[in-house]
Amino acid sequence: MRLLVSLLLALSLPVFAQHDHGVPKAATAQAGPLTDGVVRKIDKAAGEVVIQHGQLDSIGMPPMTMAFGVADKAWLNKLKPGDRIRFAAEMKGGNAIVSRYEMAK
Ligand SMILES: [Cu+2]
């Protein structure tokens, strides 16, 4: 019986790896590198967007609502309060900025 189990494991593992195309299981199960956020406010004068965000491991932040700078000021014209986005954040010059985002479905 033990032999059969190890034989099955040996046979199934390579198939698994092929179907996943090398992407680690955890990466597909989680949301990926983008974090969920809801736009609360746009401040064009300050060049900031206030986002209610989920856990941001990239900059070590728990979920909260806060202001972010943006990598591209044009984004401030596209976003509006209430928009649901998925975004990546990074620290730049001591400020947290949105480095990229996409609209959430
Ligand atoms: Cu924060």
The pLDDT assigned to 42 comes to: 98
Domains of the chain by residue range: 35-103
The pLDDT assigned to 33 comes to: 81
**What is the Cα–Cα distance from 95 to 90, expressed in whole angstroms?**
8
Q: How far is the CA of 25 from the centre of ligand 1 (A)?
A: 27
Q: How far is the CA of 28 from the centre of ligand 1 (A)?
A: 24
Predicted TM-score (pTM) of the model is 0.69
Q: How far is the CA of 18 from the centre of ligand 1 (A)?
A: 38
Asked whether residue 12 carries a pLDDT value surpassing 90, the answer given is: no
Asked whether residue 31 carries a pLDDT value surpassing 50, the answer given is: no
Q: Ligand 1 (ion): which residues have CB within 5 A? A: 61, 64, 66
Q: How confident is the model at residue 4 (pLDDT cuts 50, 70, 90)?
A: low
Q: Which of 13-27, 58-72, 86-100 has the lowest mean pLDDT?
A: 13-27
Q: How far is the CA of 64 from the centre of ligand 1 (A)?
A: 5
Q: What is the pLDDT of residues 46-58, one digit of tens each?
A: 999 999 999 999 9
Residue range 37-48: mean pLDDT, rounded:
98
- Superfamily of chain region 35-103: Copper binding periplasmic protein CusF (2.40.50.320)
